[in-house]
Each structure stands twice: as C-alpha cells, then as structure tokens.
Amino acid sequence: MVERSKVRVLVAKPGLDGHDRGAKVVARALRDAGFEVIYTGIRQTPEQIVESVIQEDVDVLGISILSGAHMVLIPKILHLLEEKGLKPNDDILVIAGGIIPPDDAQELEKIGVGRVFGPGSPISEIIAFIDENVHKLKKFRPA
Amino acid sequence: MIDDLIERMLRGDRRATARLITLVENDEEKAREIISKIFPRTGRARIIGITGPPGAGKSTLLDKLIKVVREEDQVVGVIAIDPTSPFTGGALLGDRIRMQRHSTDPGVFIRSMATRGSLGGLAKATNDAIKVLDAYGCDVIFVETVGVGQIEVDIVKTADTVVLVTVPGLGDDVQAIKAGLMEIADVFVINKADKEGADATYFELNLMLDLEKERWEKRGWRPPIVETVATTMKGIRELWDAIKDHQKFLKESGEIERKRRFRAEEEIKAIVSGKIARAIESRLGEEEVSNLIRGVVKREIDPYSAADLILEKTLGVKP
Ligand SMILES: Nc1nc2c(ncn2[C@@H]2O[C@H](COP(=O)(O)OP(=O)(O)O)[C@@H](O)[C@H]2O)c(=O)[nH]1
Ligand SMILES: [Mg+2]
C-alpha cells in the first residue's frame, strides 16, 4: 500500500451551485484518514480543475457535484485530462460523488471515472477505494 | 526518466515540472540527482516569503500580488505551505482557493505543500521546490508559510525579502511578532485595513520600529509598513513597490550577497543534519535504543552518556 501521507488528493467542486459543505466534509475526512488533500473551492471550471491537478501533481481527483450537470462537466474534465496526457486509472484516479443517478454513474465509470459514490456513501468506502487502487497508477509501479 | 523530465521542464512542460517537485519532496536519492542537474540553471528568481498568523489574508494578498506582477509580464511561482496534522499525518491544503483565477494562466505556477514530518525535511523540500520553479523559469517565487512555528520562520528567513502580514485588533499578535519575527521582516503589512483598529496597529508597529531605530540605521533599511485590503486592490501596488524597493536595496547595498551566503549555509546545514539523522537511524538497532532508553529510565545511565554511546556506535564520533 502506498503511504497515505504521500497520496495527494484534489477535491474539486465544479458547477455553479454555491455551497460546498459536502465537498468540505469529504476533504476533511480524507485529511483525518491521513491523506494530503488539496481543496480548490467552489465554482471551478473544468479547465481550472485540470490545471490544478497538473500543478499539484495529484494522484486522486475527487469531483463533488450537486448541480445536475455531471454528465456535461465530468466528461469535459476527463477529456481535458486526456488532452494533457493524463489517462484515468493509469496516471490519475478519478472519483465522483454527489447526486448522480445509477444509470449516469454506470456511464461515467465506462468513460474513466474509477468509482461513483452516491449520497450517503460512508467515507470508509472512499478511503478503501483509494487504498486499493492508487498503487496501480503508473507512477507507483516499480520501474 | 529524470533527464527526460528535466528536458521537458526546460521546454516549459508543467506536468514534468510538477512531477519533479513531487520527486524532490518524496525521494532523497532523486532529489539529489535532480538538484545537481538543474543547479546551474537556478539562482535567477527573486524569492519572497510571506508569513503571518493563520487567517491574516496571506493567500488573498498573494492573489492580488500575482495580478500586479503578471502586469509586468513576469513569470510567477507560488509555494503555499500548510501544516500536516501531527496526529494523522494528513493535511488539508486550502491556500489555492484564494488564487484559483490564476490557475489557468500559463505564467503562473502554484503548488501547495504540507509541512509533513521532520524539521530539516521541510526546509530541504522547500529549497528544492524553489529550485525546480527557478529552473522552470519563474522570475518571482512567493513562499507562503504560517508564521507561528520555528520551522516556518526558519524557512521564510532565507527568502530575499520577508513580508510579515498582520491584522488589526489582535493586540497580542503584535506582541507575538516581537519575539523572533520582528527581526526577520523586511516589509510589514497591516492587512484588513478596512477593519477597525488599523490605525492603532500602525501606531504600535511604528513605535516598535522606532525602538529598534539604531539597528535599522546601521543596516540601511527600515522596514516600511503598508496598509492593505486584500479583498480589494487597496494598497497592493504600494506593497509590490515596497517589495521592489527592498530588492533594490539588497542589490545596491550588497546585502544580497550576504543573504545568498546565509541561504547557502542554511541549506547545507539542513542537508547535513538530515543525513546525520538518517545515518544514525539506519545504523541503530531498535533493541539497542530501547535498552538505552530503559537504562536512562532506571537511572543506570544518564542521557548525555546514552547519546555519546549512540554517536560512537553509529558514526564513530568519540565523546
Ligand atoms: N475584511 C477583510 N477580509 C479579508 C482581507 N483579506 C483577507 N480577508 C479574508 O480573510 C479570510 C482569510 O484569508 P486568507 O487569505 O485565506 O488568509 P491566510 O490564512 O493568511 O492565507 C478570508 O475569508 C478572506 O476573504 C481584508 O483585507 N479585509
Ligand atoms: Mg493561506
């Protein structure tokens, strides 16, 4: 397992809805679990999120979304990541949370999101998912 | 792999630059290789430390400073340091929130860093990250730290210019500044000047500077006090001018040479202490240590003699 304090997670809040209680709660919980968490605040554009991912060289991108625009914003983010040479599941682990219906979740998991966590998912599930998958990223594989 | 990353960084690739910062932060051996390879290309950037109590508005100020510096077409790097929780090893780094509008500007590179474990470790990681951003091509590098702990003070005091941010209405904080931070500040900022009490804080700071008048006169630089409102642009240009004035003073007085020497010395010291600590750890059996600890607890051996024994055993240093 990769040491959690060396796993960098960026928690991003795209979309226009103005409150970020959920995202902050998750960010704090991940910190308390021992991860290094970068929080970028509300109303982030996909471009800002992807640039932050690059500059911070994070291993995990957690997208929190409530606005209903997930089927537009998340594919856009994935597309920009690939454009910058960041392949989901290979260079970065992308997870999403918020109000995302199961059909949409399935679709998103097909196009690169590692796992969609529905509302009320216990934080332990998110932590376990990161622990089990982050070491599969290219940068953590032995050269 | 490292040669490839460096080459890409020199061509302006931000992903490679970010990766190099991670490597110097995480991996001792790689840090050594990276720094020795990029070292000839460093030393060009001006390094500006921004420190002060949590919530004083340092990150918000930086957001506005970046805007002003970008108007001069200079490339800006930011290293924003926040504490790691000593209990969980985790960290929540939130400085970026205030500066996000610059994240898509190709002339700005912002990196959040956690203090992580060790004393020497953070100083080393910060110095190395500064060098990567310097080689990448940043003209100005801001380093934001919370000015409370000794570690943070140690880091920021190696900057070319140290900006100390305070706010009105924290009477005790101005007192706290006196111990240690007062001496290293080159520019004082009273941020949140829109709040009540800014004049009183100005008066108090000015008085403290007056008391140290002889020192400033000898040095040739009396730290100016700039009042700002970081949520607007009030005082920001004045602050940037004050920083530039200090940079000019450094050059003209030759103080810059002294600063650079000091930085090099601190840097070497940090590396040496780190290496010694690790050498000792790697050569010491856990059982030996616990035996010695037990001995001290039982009063069979005093702590000085125990330390001497450890040094002799691991490094061959005779007491
Ligand atoms: N009223 C007022 N609030 C400010 C000013 N500068 C910053 N703030 C607010 O102070 C809070 C902390 O700012 P931040 O930049 O994160 O402080 P830091 O911890 O020193 O980096 C934020 O809510 C800012 O909006 C100012 O000049 N006036
Ligand atoms: Mg800050």
Phi-psi region of B261 (alpha: psi -120 to 50; beta: other; left: phi over 0): alpha
Instruction: Report pLDDT for A25.
Output: 92
pTM of the model: 0.93
Q: Which among B22, B85, B93 has CB closest to A38?
A: B93
Gap between the Cα atoms of B276 and B32, Å rounded: 16
Residue type, B270: A
Note whether B103 contacts A39, CB cutoff 8 Å: no
* Helical H segments across B232-302, by residue range: 236-253, 255-283, 286-297
Kindly state whether B12 is in contact with chain A, defined as any CB-CB distance less than 8 angstroms: no
Measured from the CB, is residue B56 less than 6 Å from ligand 1? yes
Residue A11 lies in a domain: no
Mean pLDDT over A116-142 rounds to: 92
pLDDT for residue B281: 82
CATH classification at residue A129: 3.40.50.280
The 10s digit of each residue's pLDDT in B135-190 is 999 999 999 998 766 666 777 777 999 999 999 977 655 665 656 677 889 999 99
The CB of B303 under 6 Å from ligand 1? The reply is: no
Tokens of B105: 């500007």
Q: What length is written for chain A?
A: 143
> Which segments within chain B are labelled E, that is strand?
46-52, 76-82, 91-93, 108-114, 140-146, 161-166, 187-190, 225-227
pLDDT of residue A22: 84
Minimum-distance ligand to the CA of B192?
1
A65 DSSP β-pair partners: A98
Q: What is the pLDDT of residue A114?
A: 97
Residue A3 lies in a domain: no
Amino acid present at B246: H
Question: Are the C-beta atoms of B198 and B227 separated by less than 8 Å?
Answer: yes
Res B313: pLDDT: 87
- Tell me what the mean pLDDT of segment B219-242 comes to: 96
Confirm whether A4 is domain-assigned: no
* Integer CA distances (angstroms), B228 to B145, B165, B172, B231, B235, in order: 19, 10, 20, 9, 4
| Residues A12-36 pLDDT 10s | 999 887 778 889 999 999 999 999 9
Measured CA to CA in angstroms, residue B298 lies from B151, B306, B311 at distances of: 34, 13, 21
Count the Cβ atoms, other than its own, within 10 Å of residue B55.
Answer: 11
Number of domains in chain A: 1
ipTM value for the complex: 0.95
- Per-residue pLDDT, B179: 63
Nearest neighbour of B114 by CB, restricted to A36, A39, A143: A36
Contacts of B59 (CB under 8 A, 6+ apart): B80, B95, B96, B97, B98, B99, B144
User: Which of B11, B8, B268 minimizes the C-alpha distance to B127?
Assistant: B268
Q: Is the pLDDT of residue A47 over 60?
A: yes
A 10 A CB-CB count for B122 gives 25
Residue A67 has a pLDDT of 77
- Whole-angstrom Cα distance, residue B63 to residue B67? 7
Chain segment B240-294, per-residue pLDDT in tens: 999 999 999 999 999 999 888 988 998 888 788 878 888 888 888 888 888 999 9
High-pLDDT (> 90) share of chain B, %: 62
CB of B147 within 8 A of CB of B181? yes
B234 lines ligand 1 (CB under 6 A): no
**Residue range B18-24: average pLDDT?**
97
Q: Do B92 and A48 touch (CB under 8 A)?
A: no
Among left, alpha and beta (phi > 0; psi -120 to 50; other), residue B67 is: alpha
| Residue bearing the CA closest to ligand 1, atom 7 | B57
For residues B215-231, give the mean pLDDT.
94
Chains A, B: CB contacts within 8 A come to 89
Q: With a 6 A CB cut-off, is B43 part of the ligand 1 pocket?
A: no
Q: In A, which residues are within 8 Å of B22 by CB distance?
A: 8, 57
Average pLDDT (B111-115) is 94
For residue B133, what pLDDT is reported? 98
CATH topology of domain B42-253: Rossmann fold (3.40.50)
Residue with tokens 């950037």: B45
* pLDDT tens, residue by residue, A68-118: 889 999 999 999 999 999 999 999 999 999 889 999 999 999 999 999 998
A12, part of any domain = no
Cα separations in angstroms, B253 against B17, B219, B248, B256, B274: 34, 9, 8, 8, 34
pLDDT top residue among B182 and A54: A54
Within an 8 Å CB–CB cutoff, is residue B104 touching chain A? Answer: yes
Q: Which pLDDT score is estimated for B120?
A: 62
For B218, other C-beta atoms within 10 Å of its C-beta total 8
Beta strands in A28-104 (DSSP E): 36-39, 60-65, 93-98
pLDDT of residue B105: 98
Residue extents of the structural domains in chain B: 1-40, 42-253, 268-315
> Residue A96 belongs to what domain range?
18-140
In one-letter notation, the amino acid at residue B141 is: I
* Tokens standing for residue B258: 């002294």
